[in-house]
Amino acid sequence: GNSVTQMEGPVTLSEEAFLTINCTYTATGYPSLFWYVQYPGEGLQLLLKATKADDKGSNKGFEATYRKETTSFHLEKGSVQVSDSAVYFCALSVDTGGFKTIFGAGTRLFVKA
């Protein structure tokens, strides 16, 4: 079946540290991959996406590359800020006649000043 596995949190970093949040997936067919972010007190919002192998999604200094050979879509940022503290969700969508989206469990990131 289709599933998403992401690293457990919480992840605690100091400001300006390098961030990696691992995400791997299993899917039938050719999924599109997404990272969503949920800031404290706010709703889920799309951070970045990639729709085919070797695509790189990027936004707000975050990047993730669709790696078909390792079925991964790891999220990275070179220098985190306190304002990046949030919960990050990796997700995939597949055409099952309805493009069901499957989310990982989320990884909470705390960034200390």
Positions that interact with other proteins (CB under 8 A):
4, 32, 34, 36, 42-46, 49, 51, 89, 91, 93, 95-106
Minimum separation from the CB atom of position 41 to other proteins (A): 9
Q: Toward other proteins, which CB reaches closer, 1 or 113?
A: 1
Q: Read off the DSSP letter of residue 15.
A: T
Q: Which of 45/83 has CB closer to other proteins? A: 45
Strands (E), 1-113: 3-6, 11-14, 19-21, 23-26, 32-38, 45-50, 56-59, 62-65, 75-77, 86-94, 100-103, 107-112
* Other CB atoms within 10 A of residue 68 CB: 12
Minimal distance in Å, beta carbon 79 to other proteins?
A: 25
Q: Is 82 helix (H, G, I), strand (E, B) or coil?
A: helix
Smaller CB separation from other proteins, 32 or 66: 32
Which of residues 19 and 89 has its CB atom nearest to other proteins in the complex?
A: 89
Q: What's the rounded Cα separation, in Å, for the pair 1 and 64?
A: 23
Smallest separation, CB 21 to other proteins (Å): 13
- Minimum Å distance from CB 53 to other proteins? 16
